[in-house]
Structure 1
């Protein structure tokens, strides 16, 4: 479906942002960046083909999977509208131009098919996205303001902080939504809960109250809560909220599972298959190949994940091995045991003026130095902004110069990357320390 004509012109936000969007191409060292915000991380095979073709024709050939389940094209040069128009024609744009920035609603990549889900989150998500895109008042929100809807799926990113998070639980024989502000369901207590039928009203009420209270310089919920306590914020919602001890003491159950390889679905005989482009980067040929596999062996759809990977849903069990092999032939990583699958790296100095090291290249080299016992996730960041990861990794290497890094280990007592454990390391020294950590915890 083509996007409406109103989506073809950018708008001016009351809270201006340097974040890229579909209609706002932001310049970087390696050219323009166009971020395509996907509805719940989903796109069709035809849309994937359209992205691959637009990248080949109008950009440098790099497609990035983001840590919120979106895609972005890098290295754009020349006339921006030539790239934007075919993407809009493929149905990848917002309903209204001013709604492009605020489509920040993250779901589980297995929404609607996960065996552990308490309900199918997709209908509510579609309703929320329509409200965000078409309500002028909500267009005042920052392009970074983000909402998470979690329906209890086992395959869910629960550590990313969001301005508003909603997480499913069963109460009184039916599904409810616990919610919190400026945090995440992995670590935070809920502030209250409402029945699932009130989920849309709750989100609207929270956004309305935020906009009513926040100053122009308070773009995120955490900034507002420095002046307004969470209890005061919730008390002012024009909506009945359940806040008894059963709710306030509830914790979201966590069921560890891998986003790579086969993932059994709720319906017997079907599986999803997960794969990751090395260091989050797809070539147009990779994306087109994934689209072909989805079209011929799946249901013609694919889903991007917040682990900078993708998921092909609704694969018949006899075809799982064929799909997995096909993804591997395309150059994607299909097992968490592969060294590069444990590494996350930002664009680095090759594409970002703020990067102090070639983090992508260094990550490829570091992968050859790590043994199978290394931490589950190592993050290489070219600067303190941490663009590639929305939460602290078990281990972070923060660049200080080309090929040299400071090592941080995640510590709940420390803000940011965690506790600083070593300074000015070469990649070889970092690899040695990371392997030592796998044998004897360094943070004891």
Structure 2
């Protein structure tokens, strides 16, 4: 979506109204351990501010403001999250000034109580993907507007999440959501299949609706959930599906023929043609999900000079620059900034949480250990987690290292027959031993 004259992307799409008041009252915030833009949560390395982005999109002007805020009021550490949002770490005493700077460029919610529930994931290539069945962004704007502005939906858990999938080639299909909607074709008509407490890449849908009923379905599901859930039942997986479905007042259709295959070329690294003729997007990842202000400002400058002055963050802890005519030039300059743009770079397939350097629950310095492991050329996509909470990965990685002590990990391989991280293969491995074991193991066709 193009920015307005001030370089700010309106948070509501054109079909849903005008941008909303960027200065919500803070006295409506509820207690929560999850950071938001208005709620700074403390960690070992300082405060954490999470900036939720509509569909992962941010204007170049807004990206510059995030970089300036991180530089001026924090430790200069910016993180791309696995839900296509941004985090600023290491915030000091001037957190109010940081919040004010981000609110001033339109990165806040319309109501303070709505900040927690702006959890809607789209494909990073929404509206530009050659494979898409429809442009999800207008419907996403309607869903985000009702989440932010309907007071009852502010009761939802800060972790309650919705996914809207337009059948794009570039889509994260393994992150579980409380409600997912996925486009497919049936008898020449594009419908939305939907499911609860799962994901379109792994689970069968419950039913389908017509596209013009997508917004009504989301509202009906959320209302039914809140009607049925006790205070302890905060996620969709806590409820009986049949009981919820019986309360929906939306015409449901069979989802016959639905199949959402994962792309063999995910498209989150490199250059790809868009749906629009002669235009391209470039996708890259930030090493271990971290950017510094210079990297973010540099990417914003590239978006302004070569694209439409917008950036999109991705669930692979990276970014996408759309609407480019010279993608090779952009890839070269992103690489010079420190982004990873090629699949043959081992670090491009590493995920690591904050680890013991910034989190009190971390049992190992996962970021440092990941750099060491990448240098050993393991040949697999690896997730290093400092504790069982798995904050860095919302899906099960092909290989997971679960920290047990500084520099030592239990090793798991993804296995559908085993829940959680998968099948335990070895205990208390050093990074050197892990690298040797993985190099000797053939790469699986289930690797990312």
Distance 2:321 2:243 in 1: 43
Where does 1:353-432 land on structure 2 (aligned, <5 Å)? 353-371=360-378, 374-375=379-380, 377-432=381-436
Distance 1:407 1:278 in 2: 22
Please say if residues 351 and 382 of structure 2, whose CA atoms lie closer than 8 Å, have aligned partners that are also in contact. Answer: yes
Please say if residues 168 and 176 of structure 1, whose CA atoms lie closer than 8 Å, have aligned partners that are also in contact. Answer: yes
SS in 1 for 2:64: helix
Please say if residues 59 and 73 of structure 1, whose CA atoms lie closer than 8 Å, have aligned partners that are also in contact. Answer: yes
Distance 1:327 1:381 in 2: 27
Please say if residues 178 and 192 of structure 1, whose CA atoms lie closer than 8 Å, have aligned partners that are also in contact. Answer: yes
Please say if residues 409 and 420 of structure 1, whose CA atoms lie closer than 8 Å, have aligned partners that are also in contact. Answer: yes
Distance 1:10 1:112, change over 3 A: farther
Distance 1:432 1:368 in 2: 12
Q: What is aligned with 1:11?
A: 28
- TM-score w.r.t. the length of structure 1 is 0.94
Moved more, 105-114 or 259-268: 259-268
User: 1:277 deviation in Å?
Assistant: 1.2
Asked if 1:256 corresponds to 2:267, the answer is no
Asked if 1:139 corresponds to 2:148, the answer is no
Task: Pick from 229, 235, 238 the counterpart of residue 214 of structure 1.
Answer: 229
User: 1:253 deviation in Å?
Assistant: 2.7
- TM-score w.r.t. the length of structure 2 is 0.93
Deviations 1:65-98 (A, max 9, x none): 0000000000001032100001001110111111
Where does 1:13-162 land on structure 2 (aligned, <5 Å)? 13=30, 16-162=31-177
User: 1:153 deviation in Å?
Assistant: 0.2
Show structure 1 runs of 5+ residues with no match. Answer: none
Where does 1:234-249 land on structure 2 (aligned, <5 Å)? 234-243=245-254, 247=255
Distance 1:232 1:313, change over 3 A: same
Distance 1:211 1:174 in 2: 32
SS in 2 for 1:7: coil
Deviations 1:31-69 (A, max 9, x none): 000000000000000000000000000000100000000
User: 1:3 deviation in Å?
Assistant: 5.7
* Structural RMSD (CA): 1.6
Please say if residues 94 and 100 of structure 1, whose CA atoms lie closer than 8 Å, have aligned partners that are also in contact. Answer: yes
Distance 1:321 1:288, change over 3 A: same
User: 1:267 deviation in Å?
Assistant: 1.2
User: 1:393 deviation in Å?
Assistant: 0.1
Please say if residues 22 and 110 of structure 2, whose CA atoms lie closer than 8 Å, have aligned partners that are also in contact. Answer: no
